[in-house]
Chains A and B, each alone.
Chain A
Amino acid sequence: EAGVAQSPRYKIIEKRQSVAFWCNPISGHATLYWYQQILGQGPKLLIQFQNNGVVDDSQLPKDRFSAERLKGVDSTLKIQPAKLEDSAVYLCASSLTETQYFGPGTRLLVL
């Protein structure tokens, strides 16, 4: 079974630029999550989708972050404009029931 796919794996941008991350969840998984993991910390939930609807986005910095899940499958997370403190690994996860399956993440460095 294919796992959660994410791209790109690495991204370096300058502050105030925009960036987008893509996630393809495991086939059939209705729930999709985006996490931000800063070095040395545990992942922090940014947004949770159930199919193409948002369940929880309470920790998403909506002035600069946005996410969508068109057709309830793939998802895109965007940052515009990026700040230095956005440097982190962005993890996507999906679940069918309670177990979350994580992708390898996208490592973002903002200079």
Chain B
Amino acid sequence: LAKTTQPISMDSYEGQEVNITCSHNNIATNDYITWYQQFPSQGPRFIIQGYKTKVTNEVASLFIPADRKSSTLSLPRVSLSDTAVYYCLVGDLGGNYGQNFVFGPGTRLSVLP
């Protein structure tokens, strides 16, 4: 299983760009990188997924260097409502996706006014 390491917590202010980096040194060739967001009293919610280079959607960007041993989730111009726990996950997309899908403790992002 590819293990991930990310900061336990981060603070930011409204309107700033937030970058959360995740390390996954033993990522396998077939593994994708996925980020989830979790608000209190809710289940995790999919944010973005990528394999290499850069992926962007309406919520965030994901930067993955060529060696794929790390990835950075970028949240542009955060607001108070972005305060949540963010999980970095690494796993293959085969039929046993859940088997190789391990949540770490995540990064608790606090956005301050």
A66 within 8 A of B: no
Task: Specify which of B41, B95, B102 is in contact with A55 (CB 8 Å cutoff).
Answer: B95
* A80 in the interface (beta carbon within 8 A): no
Binding site for B on A (CB under 8 A): 4, 31, 33, 35, 40-45, 48, 50, 55-56, 58, 91, 93, 95, 97-105, 107
In contact, B98 and A56 (Cβ under 8 angstroms)? yes
Report chain A residues within 8 Å CB of B49: 98-99
Name which residue of chain A comes closest to B98, CB basis. A48
Interface flag for B13 (CB, 8 Å): no
What mask results when residues 24 to 38 of chain B are scored 1 for a CB within 8 Å of chain A, else 0? 000000001010000
- Number of contacts between A and B (CB, 8 Å)? 61
The answer to whether B99 and A55 touch across the interface, beta carbons within 8 angstroms, is: yes
Bound complex: CA A44 to CA B45 (Å): 15
* A–B pairs, 7, beta carbons within 8 Å: A31-B98, A33-B98, A43-B44, A55-B96, A58-B99, A99-B34, A104-B43
Which chain B residues border A95 with CB–CB below 8 Å? 97
Q: Are B87 and A42 in contact (CB under 8 A)?
A: yes
**Min CB gap B11→A, angstroms:** 18
Within 8 A of A (CB), among B27-77: 32, 34, 41-46, 49
B106 near A104: Cβ-Cβ < 8 Å = no
Let me know if B112 is at the binding interface, CB within 8 A. no
Task: Output the nearest chain B residue to A103 by Cβ-Cβ distance.
Answer: B43
CB-CB under 8 A from A97, the residues of chain B are: 93
Query: Which residues of the partner chain A approach B43 to less than 8 Å between Cβ atoms?
Result: 4, 91, 93, 102-105
Q: Is the CB of B41 within 8 A of A104?
A: yes
When C-beta atoms are compared, the residue in chain A nearest to B46 turns out to be: A99
Cross-interface CB contact of B104 among A42, A50, A99, cutoff 8 Å: A42
Give the CA-CA distance A50 to B105 in the complex, in Å.
26
* Distance in angstroms between the alpha carbons of A60 and B3 in the assembled complex: 20
A42 to B96, CA, bound (A): 20
Option from B34, B44, B103, B105 in Cβ contact (under 8 Å) with A40 = B105
Distance between Cα atoms of A34 and B99 in the complex (Å): 12
Residues of B within 8 A of A43 (CB): 44, 103
